[in-house]
Every structure is written in C-alpha cells, then in structure tokens.
Amino acid sequence: MLPIGKFFSARNNKKKRYNYESANKLAMTLIIPSMLVMGFVIIYPLLRAFYLSFFNYKLTRPDQFSFSLTDNYARIINDQVFWIAFKNTIVFTFFTVAIGLLLGLIMAIALDQLSQRLEGLRGLVLVPWVIPGIVVGYLFMYIFDVEVGILNYTLQQLGIIQDYLPWLMRDQLAMIAIIVAHVWNQAPFYMLMFAVSLKAIPEDVKEAAYVEGASRWQEFFHVTFPYLKGTFVIASLLMVIRNFNNFPIIFTMTGGGPVYSTTTSVIYIYRKAFEQFDLGYASAIGIVWVVILLLISVIYVRSLQKDF
Amino acid sequence: MIVIKRRFSWVWSGIIGLTIIFSLVWTLFPIFWMFSTSLKSNIDIFKVPPSLWPSQITYGNYENLGGGITPIWTFFTNSVITSLGTLVLAVVLATFAGYALSRMKFVLRKPILMGVLVTQMFPLVVLLIPLYLVFLKANLLNTYTGLILAFTSFTLPFSIWMIKGFVDSVPVEIEQAAMVDGCSRMQAMIRVCLPLIVPGIVATSVFAFLDAWNNLLFPLVLVNDIGMKTLPPGMIIAFGGEFKHDWGGMMAASTIVAVPVIIVFVLLQRYLVAGMTSGSVKG
C-alpha cells in the first residue's frame, strides 16, 4: 500500500468509515461467494480424491469396495504403464516447452523489427493460441494423415522422404506429431511474452552496445538476453504445468496410442477413471500428479515474487 | 534526441524477412487449409496432387452437419449457453473477490491469494473423479448448471487473479477522494473503481468464455445425453469410429468451432493482449 494510504487511515482513525485498509466484514462478503464455489468444485473434490485414493473403488464392482492405506500406491510403483506415461509426459512436456520457447523467441525478435504500419501482422501470428484444442487436434490429425495428409505430400515433393510415413501409427513419429501440434498452438504465447519484454528494453542500452562495437550476436547474448531471463523462467514454468495437464489435442490426435506411446499421465488417469471405472486407483495416480505439480507451482510462485 | 542505429545490412534484413514469412506461413497455413478443405468435395480432398483451393466450392460438408448423428446446431447452442453462463458467474464472482484481494486487508488474505494461484495448476482430471460422483448424487449430470459450475472451477482462479491485477493498477487515491466526498465503501468500488477496470473485465470475460468454449474434458465426462453435449465432445462423437475419414465434414465442424473464437479474438485483441500476459508477468 502506498504511504499516503497509511497517512490517510491514521488521520481518520476515529471515523471508522474512512479506515481504508481494514474492512474485514465487507471483504468477507465480497470474497465468500467465490470461496464457496471454489470449495465446492476444487477443494472438496481434491480432498475427496485424496480420500478415494485409499480405497479399492471400481464403479463396475461396487461389492469389492474396501479400504487399504497402501494398495493403490503400491500398485502404482509396479504399474509399468504408469511409468511409460510418466516418461511420455516428461518427454512431451520438455520438447513442447523447449521448442515453443525457441520458436516464440525467434518470432518475437523478427516481428519486433516490423515498422508500426505492419503491427497488425503480430496480431495475426497470435491466432493459433485461441484455437480450441479439439480443432487443433483434428486439424493436425488431418495434416499428419498417412494418405491425404499434406505433410507427407510436401515432404515427398521436397525429396526429404521416399515413401509416405504413417505418422500417427508409429511410436516416435506419433510423439513428434503431437509435439508439433502443441508447438503450433502455443508458440504465440511465448512470442507474446517475449514481445512484451523486448519492448521494455531501453533503446539507449542497445545503442551503447553498438557504439562500443558489439556485434548483433554479442548484443543479443549480453544485452537483450539478460532482460528476457525472467520471462524465460516464468513462461516455461507456466507452460510446463499447462502441458502436464494437456488433454484435448492428444486425445483427439492419437487417443494415447499407438499402444501407449503417446499416453501421458492425464490420458492414463482419464482412461483408468472413465473407461475402466477404476476410480480409487485413478485417484491415487492423480494425487501423485498433484504432489508433483504442487512442487513445480511452489518454484513458479517463488520466481513470480522474485524480481528478475 | 538522436538515436544511433546500426547500419542497414542486407544479410540481417534478409534473415528477418525470411523469418517473418516463415512465421506467417507456419501460423496461417493450417488455418487456411482447414477452411479450404471444408469447402472441398471428396473428389478434391483425395485428389493427388492436392490443390490449395477447391476446384469447385461446395457447401455440402456444412449442410450435412445439421442433421442425423451430428446435430451440430444443438451442440452449438449448448456451447453458447454454458460458455455465457460461465462467463457471467466467473466474472461477477471474480470482480468482487479480486477487488477485495487487491484493496482490503483481512484475515486469511495471504492464504487465499496463494490458494487462488496454486489451484490454477491442479490437473483437472483429478478433480473430475469426485466431481462426477457428486454430480451423480446431486442430479447435476447432463445439466447446464452442472457444466457451468464445472467450467467455473477451471476459470474462476485465473479470473480472480486477472481482476486483482487490474484493480492493483488503479491508484487507490481516486477511491479515497470519492469517499471523502461522501461515497460509501461500496459506492466507491462500484462507481469509481469498476468503470476504470472495464477493459480488464472485458478481457477476463473473454478468457472465461474461451475456457468454457474450448473445454473438452468436463463435458466428455459430465454429459452423456447427446442433446446436452457441447461442441468439443459433440465432435468426438461425430468423427470417432467409422466417420474418422470424413475429412470435409471434420474440417467444416472445426471451422464452425473455431470461427466464433477467431472473431472474438480479432475484435477484442487490444484488451486480450494485456490479459494474456497479466496472469503471469505481474507478480
């Protein structure tokens, strides 16, 4: 709060009406509706999921409902598919975020050079960010299709591949395909974040670098980059969390297949819970993910508070 | 002031120019391809070499979406109703909460603030399991109310965080002056502060709307009556299984889902850009 606020409330101490900062009752009335909704749709479900994770609870076999502190968690450790999904999530998240950051940075720097008149182009480049996940999924399923996909045709015309590749039907190719689709969808976000920080770099710093004889590369690594470091950290943490939870694009493009090769943790939890109705076990996996995400969130919140 | 700029270099400008062209093609080609395919007949779609633009424009793909197994206009209506409902609920709640969190000191302020930030990061699929059980018991499955509540769980924390950021940027002195002039605390908020953050409220509304519009996971689980499905799960039904290769229909449906979003974005871009970065940059 600004010092003037303190001055103000001190001066009006007697007349409580003017006490600006402390307003417990009013604040509570304003905030309680939100807390009720969040309690009902976030906090309660979370606690219930934690509770469920200690039960053998299958919707299809209600007679087998039983408590066990460790059963589900022990099952996770021995569940090979869980570990495949774990690995897939890490690989998928790492590459989408790394490539997205790089591409977003390049696009931001290039578009930053545009003159005022062409600013509209920057807006155009942002469009993929708002395209619904399901549309991105189907669109890239079509582009990557083995027979009618435009990608196979283009690559063949360019002489990069001999025969059409069955992108969505082979392990690693499918992973590449879903990463490309996500990068297309997300690169504008990084671009925007970098564009905002590039605008914040004072002209005279760059000017000084030039006068001192720095090349463009040196200018980038020693002048521009330090200004972007904070954005780098924040944007990548945020998107790591987001991609850990990503569902629609993978679900529509590959459904987690072929076999388990693009099954991420979210897809796995979904299939366990809503296709096999193994609610107890699915909750246990979910709780493990919540813990992992909480750890990352703590780092994220810390870096938000730190002034880069 | 004279700013000394680098000398013009053909190589550098060439690289920048190529990068810009690449960015535009990379961004816009898939969208163009979706639209173009949606206007193609099957003959055009399977033609080798593929043509960029249909040899003859047909609207058949759109016409076929209306009836039969893909009542897309029903899905569309459901999407509009639930997304608008989410927008209203989330934005009204978030405006009050965001204002209180920004302006007032009260017990639990810090923990609530932290909670709002952290809950944005929970995997939705975990919340969905208990939510499904609760909705089952409370008869909220297959209802607009249920969907709106579920969408709000996703949107509300982010909306609160955004509104708080916008209120933070309004100088507190303006409201204090209003109160000296005889406004009550509530009047100062509604008459003085809220008009100043209208752009922020617009941005938050659009994000709430988009979140609900784009959500696939919740309606997929919480709705099984086909007449209550929204667009994303509706598309899953329409193009799963045997219809998987109806590319024209698929792209037509995709266009219908994407166009409202693109229009909203283009019209309100100025407001949105501020919002897109505020959630994460402002601490």
3 state SS of B105? strand
> Rounded mean pLDDT of A191-203?
84
On whether ipTM exceeds 0.90, the answer is: no
CB contact under 8 A, B176 and A124: no
pLDDT at B150 exceeding the cut of 80: yes
CB contact under 8 A, B122 and A125: no
Give how far A96 is from chain B: nearest CA, Å.
Answer: 16
CB contact under 8 A, A127 and B6: no
Interface test with B, best of A11, A12, A19, A34 (most B CBs within 10 A): A34
> Rounded mean pLDDT of A159-178?
88
Q: Residue B135: how many CB atoms within 10 A of its CB?
A: 22
- Which pLDDT does position A197 carry in this prediction? 83
User: What percent of chain B shows pLDDT beyond 90?
Assistant: 28
- Which pLDDT does position B282 carry in this prediction? 39
pLDDT at A138 exceeding the cut of 80: yes
B100: nearest CB among A1, A27, A238 = A27
- Which pLDDT does position B70 carry in this prediction? 67
- Which pLDDT does position A84 carry in this prediction? 94
The angle subtended at Cα B106 by Cα B101 and Cα B111, nearest 5°, is 65
B152: nearest CB among A37, A266, A274 = A37
Compare all CA atoms of chain B with the CA of A284 and give the residue at the minimum distance: B126
- Which pLDDT does position A4 carry in this prediction? 38
- Which pLDDT does position B72 carry in this prediction? 85
C-alpha closest to that of B81 among B271, B252, B229: B229
Residue type, B105: K
Residue A126 has, within 13 A of its CA and on its CB side, a CA count of 26
pLDDT per residue as tens digits for the range B20-68: 899 999 999 999 999 999 998 888 888 878 888 888 888 888 888 876 6
| Dist CA B255 CA B262 (whole Å) | 10
From chain A, pick out residues whose CB is under 8 angstroms from the CB of B48.
Answer: 153
Cβ A55 vs Cβ A66: under 8 Å: yes
Q: Which contiguous run of DSSP H or E holds residue A55? A: strand A55-56
Buried b (16+ CB within 10 A) or exposed e, A147-179: ebbbbbeeeeeeeeeeeebbbbeeeebbbbbbb
- Which pLDDT does position B241 carry in this prediction? 64
230-249 of A, contacting B, C-beta below 8 A: 231, 234-235, 238, 241, 244-245, 247-248
12-71 of A, contacting B, C-beta below 8 A: 17-18, 20-24, 26-28, 30-31, 33-35, 37-38, 40-46, 48-49, 52
From chain A, pick out residues whose CB is under 8 angstroms from the CB of B16.
Answer: 110, 113
Q: DSSP letter string over A134-149?
A: HHHHHHHHHHT-TTT-
pLDDT per residue as tens digits for the range A56-70: 888 777 777 778 777
> Rounded mean pLDDT of B229-238?
89
B124: nearest CB among A153, A245, A300 = A245
C-alpha closest to that of B239 among A1, A215, A139, A212: A139
pLDDT per residue as tens digits for the range B74-128: 899 999 999 999 999 999 999 999 998 888 877 788 888 888 878 877 888 888 8
User: What percent of chain B shows pLDDT beyond 70?
Assistant: 92
| Dist CA A8 CA B212 (whole Å) | 43
